[in-house]
Amino acid sequence: MWQATQPVGAINALALDIPLQATEKTRFNIAWTDLAWKQWELLPGAEHFSGTLEGSVGRWPSGGPHP
């Protein structure tokens, strides 16, 4: 897959905080700049894709998915 999609770009931040005594309080943060990859099977290609994703893992609200 990596050879077929030929991904390029920069991951500027990648952080994962997993408290061993309270894993339900896990936090994550990722930032990327100018990512691009070629189309592969059902995965569409992309160019100049930048963004951030951050958040935490917690309990789903009532009525949401359950493990």
Q: Which two tokens stand for residue 63?
A: 């009525």
**DSSP code string of 30-66:** EEEEEEEE--BTTBPPEEEEEEEEEEE--PPPTTS--
**Segment 15-57, tens digit of pLDDT:** 999 999 988 899 999 999 999 999 999 999 999 999 999 999 8
**Segment 46-59, tens digit of pLDDT:** 999 999 999 998 76
Other beta carbons within 10 angstroms of residue 31's beta carbon come to 15
